[in-house]
Each structure stands twice: as structure tokens, then as C-alpha cells.
Structure 1
């Protein structure tokens, strides 16, 4: 089968590799669509970060480079391993793409398995990936979805789960006002979750195209250009002088973090969603004087079922966020190049490893 293989920084190759064997307790999946994530771009430009090197195997998967990329994907079950009796061949599924130690409790009540030692992701640290035509995944990480949700939209459930977990971490509730700093893919999908839960959303974003996307998709009630307006003053007007209840930092940019701190009401909650490559110059005194709750969030934990329900119920429409579809051969030139150099023009570019659906 064809697969996109990460060898090293700047070195991704489309190759023919053996199809995976479906072991007991695993599910064989024919991949329909796989999204290109910012993490994939980071590996390509600056890696290996999550990906293993050629001589250092990942502690859990045991794999070294090259590895198959892709962790935002949907597909159709084409084989069931021994002992898997609650799913059916032909069923549509998405994958919660974790690589986690067997000793970790990943049951339905767990709130921290995503923070376990050496946690990593399918499609980054081994065990196949969504940028291959087929994959075999442990039953625990396979989530069925309704046929009413198209498989291209289903490929966005993984990043949407990131937004769901961030919103859950914030404690936001219906009637609150939230400010989202940055309208890239995760900012937009976080806003989508907020709107679905009945929360007023203010987006702060430099790009006019991204502001337009936030408004036309209905995930933002207000989309502000911080070069044209004082975001803090605008939030004060919107909230009757109170300030926002919650804020989400989705850029890893210092001025955005500072703005969100100022836009929050006293005792508000600030959630940092983005990955920061450098140390922040954070105003800890302001946090103390406003009694702000500062919370980190990473990935998701038992978030997929609730996220899937939001999509299946029609409360979130993912189709407007799909801005391109390509084949595997165009991964770097049409996919990565667009998202690295012309990222304002795209939200999610989906890849069909088999070429079907293009």
C-alpha cells in the first residue's frame, strides 16, 4: 500500500509499504480521509519532535524512523481482529490516536491518561498512520460514527476533540462570553464547540480571511482585528463593562496572551491551548490581582464520544472548515507548502491516501 513516511526534518517520502496485519484485539481500517495537522508541519520543518529518530526508538511503540504520518483520520472497518465483537465490517469510524502504555488506566472515568509517561500519537511515533491506505488500531481507540456524518467531515473530529477538551477545561457554560485569541484551525474549532454549547464568542484575529471564516461559519458572534480596534475595550462593551468569562489562547504569541488577560473579568479563566516553543513573559502580578485561573490543555481525554455527539446531532457543521482535498502524491507540494506559506487561505486540507473521493 502507499503511505507518507517521515524520515527526518524536511524528508517525507511517499512509498510502497506492506499492509498491516490485524492482531487480536485490533481493528483493520481502510483510511478514507486524513487531515494535515500543525504538528505534522512542525515535524516537517523542525522535527523530529514527536517522531522518533533513526536510532532512538519510541519507548512504547518501539519504532524508529521512518514512520507513517497522519493522526486526524476517518475510515471504514475492513477487518476485525480476534475478540472484537462489538463492531462490524463496513462501519464508519474515527480514531483517538493515542500511543499509551498498557499499564495506564484508559477507562471511561479516567481524566489523565493523556498525561501518562511517554504518551505519544499514532501517526507520529509509530503504529501506522492516517496517511497510509490502511491501518490496524487497538479497539480501545476506535470510535464508531453514524453514516449520517460524511467521512470527510469525520476526519475533523480529532482536532474538534482538542477544542472540546479545552472548553471542558475552561468550565464555560451557556450564557458566558468567551474570547478566542487566534482563528487558525484549532481556534475556529474551539469556537465551534463554544457556540454549540450556547456561549457568546468573540474572536481576535489579524487575518481578514480567517475573520471572515469565523463569521461565515457562525462560530463567532464578533470577529475583531486587533490592529483596528482595542480588543479589550470592545469586549468591555460587549459584556456591559464586566469582561469575558473565559478566554482561549490559540496562537503562542505573547501580545495575544496579554490581551486575553486584560479582556477577562476578575476571577475569569484563561486556557492556553497553543504549544509554546519559547518561554512566555507572563504578567504574574496581573494574574494575582484579578484572581485569574490559568489552565493548560493538551489533546483530549475521553472527549471523543461527546465530540462525536455534537457532530451527529447537527450542533456543529464541520464541512465549511474543509478547504482542500488532495491525493497522497501532493502532500508536500499542495498540502504542506500551502499550510506553511499560504496558511491564511486554508483551514483543513484533507488527504485521500487511496485517491478515492477526489
Structure 2
């Protein structure tokens, strides 16, 4: 079968691969749609970050080259002998988080983690073999294309939960890439009264409005801190750092009201220099958010099915697997008007 395989930095190849043998506790999924994530882009542009290159990952037992793709959904093709809750024909979405826990409720990334599609073979392929505990039924209101959006949306849901955002709180989101846009959607669903989106791209800021931002600021044209203070003189209750650069980290702290909360959601590709007295002087709580808990993943599916979360607007393009390098990864690297690009595998709905 054809798959998009990571061989090294800027070396992603669509090539023929063999699907490994299905384990007794696994489900074989015929992949319908898979999304290109910012984490995938980090591996392509700057990797290795998560991908195991020198020795096998302790959770997957795999090393590069490996098939990428951790945001995917599809139809069950086959099940192992120990699988109880799934059968061929079931529509499913995948929680790609792997941990050392034995049960589905143990899939908390903070206790040691790996990801299907980053630490082992994933969903940029016709088929993927996945542990049963990582598989979730997709309810009828959601299409398989929607299913490919569950994983990144769950990242945003977890970030908003970590912030302990209250109904009526004011919010600033630094970075209107895919996760930033989905954080806007989640903050809106959680009851934020004002959501300020900041980015350098006019196109992404327009997309932020579609996702629910009440105000947008082009931080390349105006002073971001001053612009926010004009809207919220005391600062916002919660800020989300989703850009992954030193400047936005400092700005997110600066615009947060005293005793407020700043949540780091982005992956920083390199260290930053920062004076923590900026934090001490305001009594701000800084939290970080990595992936999601199993509860948040399930809640995300339910919220999407009920229409309380509407991440579909984040999609900016659909491409085929053969075009994943030029029209996917390279496009995301060079065209900041792009947000979420979905890769069609079987294309089933």
C-alpha cells in the first residue's frame, strides 16, 4: 500500500509499504481522511522532534522510517481476536496517544507518551493497525471527515479546560494557526465573552472571525499589547500561547490580568529567553497543555456531535496522498493563509 513515510528532515516520501501484522488487541482501520498537524510540520521542517531515529520508541517498538499521520478516521476493516467492542464496518476516529497505562482511562500523556503517526506508523496510508483502547466510535451526526478533526479539536478542548475558563471570561489567543483557531472555537463554546485573536496573517485572522473571535489584531501592524489593553484595560482573564515563539510568550503574560491564567499550548522548536519576574510581579498562573485526556477526547466527540463545537471551518484544503508533500507540507510551510489541510485516503464519509 502507498503511505507517506518520514525518512528525515524535509524528506517525506510517498512510497509502497507493508502493513505490519495485526495484533490480537488491535483494530485494522481503512483510513478515510487524515489531517496534517502542526506537529507533523515540525517534524518535516525541523525534525526529529518526536520521531524515534536512534533507537526504537519504548511504547511502539518502532523507529524511522515510519508512516506519519495522527489525525485520522476511517472504517474498521478487521479486528484482532481479543477485540470486543468493534466490528468490521464500524465508523471510528482515533486517539493517537500511547502511554504506559493498560486501560483506555490511563491514556494521560503526562505519564510518559508516544503518538501513533509520530512514534510509530500512522494514518497517512490506506490502512492503519491501532490498539482497541485508542479507537472511538463515531456517532451518526459526524462524517468521517469530521472524525479527522476530533484529535486537533481535543487539543483545544483540553487547553480550555486547563485554563479553568469561566462563563463570561475574556480571552486572548496568540496564533491563529489550526490549534489557535480551534482554541477560539472551544473558548466560545465554554462561554468566553470576548475572544481576541492575534496573528500576522490577514487570511488567518479572517478565519479567526469565522471561528468565533470577537476581535482580531494583526500583530505585525500594531503593538499587540497596546491593542489588547485598549480593548481590555486590566488585561484578559485567560491568554493562550499558540504561536511558539518568545515574543508571543512574553506578550501573552503581559496582557493577562493580575491573578489571571496563561496557557502554553504550542510546541516550542527551540529555547526562549524570558525573565520570570514578569510573572512574579503579576501573580499570573502559567499552565501547559499537551494533547488531551481520554475524557476530553470523548467529550470532544460528543460536543461536535451536538453542534456545540464546530471545527469544520478550520479546513482550508483537501488533497490526495500523492500530493501530500507539495500541496500539503510545502503549502503549509509557505502559505500562511492555509490552516487545516485534509488528506483523502479512501474519501468515505
Q: Which runs of 5+ in 1 are unaligned?
A: none
Distance in structure 2 (CA, Å) of the matches to 1:80 and 1:204: 45
Distance in structure 2 (CA, Å) of the matches to 1:267 and 1:336: 40
Provide the secondary structure at the position in 1 that maps to 2:237.
strand
Q: Is the 8 A contact 2:60 2:114 kept in 1?
A: no
Once the 2 structures are TM-superposed, how far is the Cα of residue 230 of structure 1 from its aligned partner? 4.2
Partner of 2:42: 42
Q: Is the 8 A contact 2:160 2:186 kept in 1?
A: yes
Q: Is the 8 A contact 2:104 2:133 kept in 1?
A: no
Partner of 1:115: 110
Matching residue within 277, 299, 302 for 1:306: 299
Partner of 1:33: 33
Partner of 2:125: 132
Give runs of aligned pairs for residues 80-99 of structure 1, distance below 5 A: 80-99=79-98
Once the 2 structures are TM-superposed, how far is the Cα of residue 107 of structure 1 from its aligned partner? 4.8
* TM-score (normalised: structure 1): 0.91
Distance in structure 2 (CA, Å) of the matches to 1:231 and 1:13: 40
Distance in structure 2 (CA, Å) of the matches to 1:312 and 1:141: 19
Provide the secondary structure at the position in 2 that maps to 1:148.
coil
Distance in structure 1 (CA, Å) of the matches to 2:223 and 2:40: 34
Q: Is the 8 A contact 2:240 2:264 kept in 1?
A: yes
Distance in structure 2 (CA, Å) of the matches to 1:10 and 1:182: 24
Matching residue within 124, 129, 136 for 1:143: 136
Distance in structure 2 (CA, Å) of the matches to 1:179 and 1:258: 13
Once the 2 structures are TM-superposed, how far is the Cα of residue 87 of structure 1 from its aligned partner? 2.5
Partner of 1:74: 73
Distance in structure 1 (CA, Å) of the matches to 2:251 and 2:331: 29
Count of residues in Structure 1 that have an aligned counterpart in Structure 2: 347
Distance in structure 2 (CA, Å) of the matches to 1:260 and 1:115: 24
Q: Which runs of 5+ in 2 are unaligned?
A: none
**In angstroms, what is the RMSD of aligned CA positions?**
1.9
Distance in structure 1 (CA, Å) of the matches to 2:45 and 2:224: 32
- CA 1:234/1:139 → structure 2, altered by over 3 Å: closer, same or farther? same
Distance in structure 2 (CA, Å) of the matches to 1:231 and 1:122: 37
Give runs of aligned pairs for residues 229-308 of structure 1, distance below 5 A: 229-239=222-232, 241-302=233-294, 303-308=296-301
Q: Is the 8 A contact 2:159 2:183 kept in 1?
A: yes
Distance in structure 2 (CA, Å) of the matches to 1:105 and 1:23: 15
Matching residue within 154, 174, 195 for 2:147: 154
Show CA shifts across 1:199-241 (max 9, x none): 1311111211111111123x211111224444434434444x3
* TM-score (normalised: structure 2): 0.93
Partner of 1:7: 7
Partner of 1:316: 309
Once the 2 structures are TM-superposed, how far is the Cα of residue 188 of structure 1 from its aligned partner? 0.5
Show CA shifts across 1:249-300 (max 9, x none): 0112222222222211110001111112332222311211210001111111
Provide the secondary structure at the position in 2 that maps to 1:167.
helix
